Amino acid sequence: MEQNKLTLIHSEHPLSDLKGVGPKSIGYLNELGIYSIEDILLKLPYAYDDETAMDIHSVSDGEKVTLIGEVYTPPSIAHFGRKKSKISFHMMVNEVAVRVEFFNQLYIKQHIEIGALVKITGKFNLKKQILSGTKFQKVSVDLDVNQPIFQPKYSLKGLIKNATYKKMVHDALNKAIVHPLLPVELKEKYKLWDLDQCLAILHQPTNNVDLKQARRSFAFIELFLFQLKMRLLHKKEHGVQIRSKINYNIDEVKQFIKTLPFELTDAQKQVVNEIFRDMHSDMRMNRLLQGDVGSGKTVVAAICMYALKTCGLQSALMVPTEILAEQHATSLSELFGDRANIALLTSSVKGKKRALILEQLVQGEIDILVGTHALISDPIVFKDLRLVITDEQHRFGVNQRKLLREKGPDSNVLFMTATPIPRTLAISVFGEMDVSMIKHMPKGRKPIITTWAKHQEIESIIQMAKVEISKGRQMYVICPLIEASEKLDVQNAVEIYEYYQQRFGNERVGLLHGKMKPIEKDAIMMQFANHELDILVSTTVVEVGVNVPNATLMAIYDADRFGLSTLHQLRGRVGRSEHQSYCVLISNPESETGIERMNIMTSTTDGFVLSEKDLEMRGPGDFFGVKQSGLPDFKVANIVEDYRMLEVARDEASSLILNGAIDLEENKILKQHILNDIVAYQTN
């Protein structure tokens, strides 16, 4: 599903109506994903060649230039090698004699006439005054040589020539009707062009000023359309009126909070209040809770679930793995004691035990159900589910989250993530939700000391490990690959596992990787959690894993090959107790980017700072798999560079919807585009 497709262009003409487009060309266009006039116009150039005529006195040696001059010698032809040739002539450019050479382009000869004005693009040899031409063009004497000329370049995979495609685009522009989109007041307020003018200039720019304006306007249109969809989704999700407010017993909740073994941080208190206000409203909650690793999101969730229990209502907590579900069920049972009935439901729970849980759910005897995606399977029915929480929500598809929410028609929804998401990305991907943040760590947690070591310094890391293990602590060792690769010169998990076994003994070192079966992974993680292993060698599958407070040391091999957010998530596996924890980044980076990553990681432990840096370095398309989270692959807009425009588009979309200025019933084309994309987004 192309989230960014602007279905606002209409044409009665099929591709075959375009000049020079036959069955063969249509086949090539189809290979490029082009099936209509609209598709042709929305395939924008990826770059432009600037063929503006230059002053020969200002060009540099070896520079690609465009020169205009008068031919003053006849062409000469030389043949050499097999089927190789060179045609050369001289032209006068601003009283400077320039020798022009074209290789293997004999057809140019018929266009070279003494006295003719020609425009040549090519590479200039300043010392020899030779222009090695790549493009030849005869021009008229009344040509404005200062007029910029931009030649669009399209990504065509070698199937169609650029010049041929340009002709198709020119014909398509004449055969298409591009509908107006932006409200007049927005165009005037921000001095924007509408879609038709943008497309004409983006495909056929005549000067740099217009090109910049077309790109700016098109980017705003993309961001505005997306934010309009997000705001309509937000209105749809939040506009659902529920049967009754959640009248929790605040005194019982306060008493429960007093029994917690720690004091809530100010950020936790604020988030609890925000969620309670939502739940006490007569509109359904749809909120995202962001919190760095170890910031205390689970405790916030527990307080909210306990609040529902005080008024006889049910909650569900869905997590991505069985081992994480077991951990949550255990920690919640420890927090609640006999105050609440908690059940665990995963694919491993079968037979009579499963049947009993399902029966108790229907009867309302279970207050809180914790589980994996098994929670959304059809047979599960709740008596009165009013709060649905998903942890590490980006690991579930939009449709999975929707199915769980529908288990209780009046249910409030809380999504939690330990992946810090920059504001610029959060308002795009999760624009249909309200966002809460926990930025501060609980009291008593010590910052993880992060250092950077080269591969040849491994012995010092081994000594660190021995010291920590002698204290009764444990260690994670993270590797980027499972097995050796000829393509990447990186350490691999199997080799490193065997090395640590040699240094620490076979019985105290475990191996965990993505090719293992789930039951095998869970068994290894449980051994590590129970301190049956001192060292766990693993790939990034531990990025979201069980809580092992006793682990105080992490070594990450070839750390420069991971993104900042992944490194931070991995680092968050340690530092989960009052003991000082350490993270060692083992890396010999060969690129400036790799060195920069190491310097950033050793300078801060703030996940939100790192997420901003990661977004800048990697771009939005690669950030924690945002493709599956609904972020469009914008054609022109860039949410990192255009974040101010993104926020303006969001504010304007919100204002227009709130004030009723966008009448979707009147604008049928816009309504179809927006609503179709909303349906696709929800069922992605």
**Minimum mean pLDDT range among 495-504, 596-605, 646-655:** 646-655
Residue type, 669: I
- pLDDT band (50, 70, 90) for residue 148: low
- In this prediction, residue 486 carries a pLDDT of 53
Mean pLDDT computed over 240-253? 81
Here the tokens at position 381 are 């029915």
Q: Is 154 helix (H, G, I), strand (E, B) or coil?
A: coil
Please state, in angstroms and rounded to a whole number, the distance separating the CA atoms of residues 677 and 639.
Answer: 19
189: how many CB neighbours lie within 10 A of its CB?
A: 12
Residues across the chain: 684
Q: Which residues of 589-603 are buried (b: 16+ CB within 10 A; e: fewer)?
A: beeeebeebbebbee
- In this prediction, residue 78 carries a pLDDT of 92
Please state, in angstroms and rounded to a whole number, the distance separating the CA atoms of residues 215 and 634.
Answer: 12
Mean pLDDT computed over 198-224? 91
Mean pLDDT computed over 590-611? 88
* 2 has a pLDDT exceeding 60: no
* 178 has a pLDDT exceeding 90: no
Here the tokens at position 187 are 């165009």
Mean pLDDT computed over 667-683? 42
- pLDDT band (50, 70, 90) for residue 619: low
| Average predicted confidence (pLDDT) for the chain | 83
* 471 has a pLDDT exceeding 50: yes
Please state, in angstroms and rounded to a whole number, the distance separating the CA atoms of residues 129 and 57.
Answer: 11
- The fraction of the chain above a pLDDT of 70, given in percent, is 83
- pLDDT band (50, 70, 90) for residue 429: low
* 484 has a pLDDT exceeding 80: no
Here the tokens at position 481 are 């690959």
pLDDT tens-place string over residues 363-418:
999 999 999 877 877 678 899 999 989 887 555 555 555 666 677 777 888 988 87
Q: Is 263 helix (H, G, I), strand (E, B) or coil?
A: coil
* 246 has a pLDDT exceeding 50: yes
Mean pLDDT computed over 618-632? 51
Please state, in angstroms and rounded to a whole number, the distance separating the CA atoms of residues 550 and 580.
Answer: 10
Residue 556 per-residue DSSP state: E
Selection from 582, 616, 583 nearest residue 598 by Cα:
583
- The fraction of the chain above a pLDDT of 90, given in percent, is 39
pLDDT tens-place string over residues 327-349:
889 889 999 999 999 999 988 88
* 650 has a pLDDT exceeding 90: no
Q: What are phi and psi of 178, to 5 degrees?
A: -100, 115
Mean pLDDT computed over 561-586? 88
- Provide the β-strand partners of residue 90: 99
Q: Which helix (H) or strand (E) holds 535?
A: strand 535-538
Which of 434 and 189 is assigned the larger pLDDT? 189
Q: Which of 147-156, 310-319, 387-396 has the highest mean pLDDT?
A: 310-319
Selection from 574, 407, 335 nearest residue 478 by Cα:
574
Here the tokens at position 458 are 């491994």
Mean pLDDT computed over 434-459? 86
- In this prediction, residue 229 carries a pLDDT of 78
> What pTM value is reported for the model?
0.64
Selection from 537, 534, 532 nearest residue 496 by Cα:
537
